[in-house]
Amino acid sequence: ARTLSAFHHLLPLLQPFRLPLLRAGQAALLLALWLLLLPLLVGLLFELAVILPARVPVDETPLIPLYEAWVLGLVFLKISVRCLLLGLLGNDHPWKRKFERVGANGFWNLDFTWTLRHVVLPVLCLFLSLLLPPYFFSKSVERLGYLYLRHVVLPAPSPPPFPASSPASSFASWLLPGMRKNRSGMPMSASSFT
């Protein structure tokens, strides 16, 4: 509380900068979403849908360089917005009107809530809805496959009838000196020696 009271006398000095700082923060958020996150999502979608299936064999794990996906997405985003504004998708396209409204307001007079709600978030939600369901599906199949493999295909080995350090165990090892044991201490069958 003392720190706030110490800076309390500075608040009237910062009042003239309040609106420009707010506008700069809003513009920075929109730019970060539009120029950082959205190109990354577009590039990842193209990378996962087109490039990786053609370039990476099925039995290898693909590595996706995020900066390449971001650059690729930035190029695709720039081309698509340019085609939209040139009227290649139709002069009365609703997205063309939205981008023209954003451009007419200018960078510093941006209607933040309208731009975020009607331009940025719908595009982000579209690409997130294209990327996230396959990701979660693959992770759930991987998890279910592991559970199936763990509990059905490879059931846990049954415990030995007596502990490995018991007198019966030492007697059995003395009685059967040629019997080998696997890593878990279980006797191996004769067919596993070959």
pLDDT tens figures, 33-58: 999 999 999 999 999 999 988 888 88
Tokens at 50, concatenated: 């087109």
147, part of any domain? yes
pLDDT digits (tens, 9 = 90+) for 104-130: 888 778 888 999 999 999 999 999 999
Q: Is residue 102 part of a domain?
A: yes
CA–CA separation, 17 vs 62, rounded Å? 49
The pTM assigned to this predicted structure is 0.65
The whole-chain average pLDDT of the chain stands at: 79
Q: Which domain holds residue 128?
A: 20-153
* Confidence band of 64 (pLDDT split at 50, 70, 90): confident
- Give the number of domains in the chain: 1
Tell whether 181 is covered by a domain.
Answer: no
From CA 146, how far away is CA 150, in angstroms rounded? 6
In a domain? residue 98? yes
β-bridge mates for residue 181, sequence order: 187
Beta-strand ranges (E) seen in 78-187 are none
What separation, in Å, do the N-terminal and C-terminal C-alpha atoms of the chain show?
78
Q: Looking at the domain assignment, is residue 46 inside a domain?
A: yes
pLDDT surpasses 90 at 70: yes
- Is residue 59 in a domain? yes
